[in-house]
């Protein structure tokens, strides 16, 4: 996971934000420590570790933007934004931190979950070898079948009732995206992994409506590039024993995934 799956997402977001490559590993450590914050019911030590990591990131980004503001690189859109003075320091840092958290703690799971789904379904991998034009649809199917973000939430602006569930104004409602992605009313044989599934794109792995993921197009592209390149470069790639799951409830993915390349 850290040797391959995390590299492309961290590179994309790091360079997009104009952060130096030498700091990628620091970003990965920060992301790993902060990811449990999306889950309810954290233990105190996990919460404390996330808090310390966020404080570190806050200091790091504040110093970074102060530096680039003084001397902006014309090729770096975030540096130009910092120099323009349009956003306050706090707005810059919180938006950059959101992009870091949302931008690679999710995509790393798409790549890891895709590796496992394809190795567990060799007939599907064979099909992709024969019909590489199916890769974008295969990534939709991976998003549907092993959704990297299992749920999102909304706050009810008014009282209401949906499918017999009554709720008051202000209720926080947790929505199981991964459950919707196995809805038999939408997906025929929903538990079957099929890279050519015609309705795969109807998944809600990136959410829905006003808060739908702003990075969906980038993540889809990263999924296609990373997975197709990996399986082309290492046609005999195989899992080497069981991996370790991240053990989170909102983000669904692997912490370690030992594999043999040849």
Stretch that binds ligand HEM, among 36-44, 45-53, 68-76, 215-223 (CB under 6 A): 215-223
**Shortest approach of ligand HEM to residue 223 CB, angstroms?**
7
**Shortest approach of ligand HEM to residue 238 CB, angstroms?**
24
Nearer to ligand HEM by Cβ, of 47 and 208: the residue is: 208
Nearest C-alpha neighbor of 139 from the set 192, 209, 214, 216: 216
Nearest C-alpha neighbor of 108 from the set 248, 7, 209, 233: 7
Which residues have C-beta within 8 Å of that of residue 81, sequence separation ≥ 6?
A: 87, 92
Binding residue (CB under 6 A) for ligand HEM from 25, 84, 171, 208: 208
- Residue 214 engages ligand HEM in binding (rule: CB under 6 A): yes
Number of amino acids touching ligand HEM (CB under 6 A)? 23
**Shortest approach of ligand HEM to residue 35 CB, angstroms?**
13
**Shortest approach of ligand HEM to residue 8 CB, angstroms?**
10
Nearer to ligand HEM by Cβ, of 21 and 240: the residue is: 21
How far apart are alpha carbons 243 and 254 in whole angstroms?
Answer: 7
Q: What is the number of alpha carbons within 13 Å of residue 13 lying toward its C-beta? A: 26
**Shortest approach of ligand HEM to residue 176 CB, angstroms?**
11
Q: What is the dihedral of CA 17, 13, 201, 146, to 10 degrees?
A: -150
Which residues have C-beta within 8 Å of that of residue 181, sequence separation ≥ 6?
A: 143, 144, 145, 147, 187, 190, 203, 204, 205
**Shortest approach of ligand HEM to residue 136 CB, angstroms?**
13
* Contact code string over 100-119 relative to ligand HEM, x by CB under 6 A: --xx--xx--x---------
Nearest C-alpha neighbor of 108 from the set 178, 24, 192: 24
Nearer to ligand HEM by Cβ, of 57 and 110: the residue is: 110
Of residues 14 through 53, those in contact with ligand HEM by CB under 6 A are: none
Evaluate whether 205 touches 148 at the Cβ level (below 8 Å): yes
Nearer to ligand HEM by Cβ, of 13 and 259: the residue is: 13
Apex 224 CA angle, 151 and 176, nearest 5: 10
Nearer to ligand HEM by Cβ, of 31 and 215: the residue is: 215
Evaluate whether 181 touches 204 at the Cβ level (below 8 Å): yes
- Residue 206 engages ligand HEM in binding (rule: CB under 6 A): yes
Binding residue (CB under 6 A) for ligand HEM from 53, 219, 227, 248: 219
Alpha carbon of residue 228 to chain centroid: 18
Which residues of this protein are in contact with ligand HEM, per CB under 6 A? 98-99, 102-103, 106-107, 110, 148-149, 152, 177, 205-209, 211-215, 218-219
């Amino acid at each position: 996971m850290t040797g391959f799956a995390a590299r492309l997402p961290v590179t994309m977001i790091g360079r997009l934000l104009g952060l130096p490559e030498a700091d990628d590993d620091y970003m990965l450590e920060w992301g790993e420590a902060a990811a449990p914050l999306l889950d309810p019911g954290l233990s105190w030590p996990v919460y404390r570790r996330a808090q310390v990591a966020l404080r570190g990131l806050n200091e790091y980004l504040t110093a970074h933007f102060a530096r680039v503001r003084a001397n902006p690189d014309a090729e770096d859109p975030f540096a130009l934004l910092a120099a323009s003075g349009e956003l306050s320091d706090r707005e810059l840092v919180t938006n950059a931190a959101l992009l870091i958290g949302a931008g690679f703690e999710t995509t790393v799971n798409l790549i890891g979950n895709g590796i496992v789904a394809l190795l567990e379904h060799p007939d599907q991998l064979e099909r992709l070898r024969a019909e590489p034009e199916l890769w974008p649809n295969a990534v939709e199917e991976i998003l549907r079948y092993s959704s990297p973000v299992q749920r999102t939430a909304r706050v009810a602006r008014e009282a209401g009732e949906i499918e017999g569930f009554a709720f008051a104004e202000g209720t926080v409602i947790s929505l199981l995206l991964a459950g919707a992605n196995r809805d038999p009313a939408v997906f025929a044989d929903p538990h079957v992994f099929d890279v050519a599934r015609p309705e795969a794109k109807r998944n809600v792995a990136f959410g829905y409506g006003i808060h739908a993921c702003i990075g969906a197009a980038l993540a889809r592209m990263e999924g296609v590039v990373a997975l197709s390149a990996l399986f082309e470069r290492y046609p005999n790639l195989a899992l080497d024993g069981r991996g370790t799951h991240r053990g989170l409830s909102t983000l669904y993915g692997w912490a370690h995934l030992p594999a043999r390349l040849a």
